[in-house]
Structure 1
């Protein structure tokens, strides 16, 4: 099911339960449902939706159940800055919540840590600082994880497009990661008529309701953009990354 003004993937007991589990994506919610956990909700990216921020103030306790990698750490760091989180559970190192077995998920949730005395924050700072010497920025690492889940070929090509996108420009790729066009965002809506095979889009602009409808019509799987129109609901069938 979808929940709230942001249309977020969530379990069917999200409203009635007092406790809450926050995960990264729809696949994590589905995996938890598989073992009978029905009170989870997905943030769907690194930018925490306002509806989740408000929800954490109504629920108690609130647990973040994240992937066992630096991407999970980055999402946790963002959550701690804007939301009220009581506990942290993590998948084993190198694993994602969506691929865990029943036994692994139960163990991770049983071993959750309470957030107290800044200990979790200190661990996050150390983890994030270690990434600064590597090839990709923190946000690019999260982007790579999104693309991995979508099984995108040549993921680095999209990262490069995000890095180097021109002011007010849009770039589209097909399923095989062939670049189809690079044009101004203002011409993008009509250009999609000529390139129905577009699957991945990078744009230096705001995702509007009108453009989103167009992308869904042509089955675009992924869009990276600067921001979205206020109160725009993102359906499950498309992944949106904000840079």
Structure 2
């Protein structure tokens, strides 16, 4: 089978949840991994999360095996054999709180790592989309001229199917009239919001024979 970035992402998600530990096609996976820096980063991040979980669980075991805990457990065992009037109710609360803390710490760590990873991936995708738009902006004069020559007029919106944004959608060129165009991506939600909400866009204005970036959804440095 041919291996893709999508296969890597699905495999790593299952591996993190403990649903899958062995790659179906190890050779294809390793071949893809050797030529894809993005998947290598994903694998390293995944290993970092797994290491954190293992370390957290190891700390729990180490804590439970520590002399202090062993003494407390021994005292608890002795207390069970005492008469009810000598038993201390707070010990039950102590053990429950300790158990909850030991169980919640790894979960909190995992949640934080996953949330951080998701935010980082989203930022990378947004920056990539904006970088793509800057590259496409240089092709806009040729795209407009070529389309007008073939169809006599430019449409309200033209799909630039020659390339896709990080979310698998094509980029679009929207005619704002008055020699202005909006070059944009639907953004993470994949919905055409005409340059609003989370759409990522660049506004181009024709000046003479060239198109210049007049505004964008990203702040641009002042010249």
Q: Structure 2 length normalisation: TM-score?
A: 0.22
Larger radius of gyration: 2
Q: How does the TM-score come out when normalised to structure 1?
A: 0.21
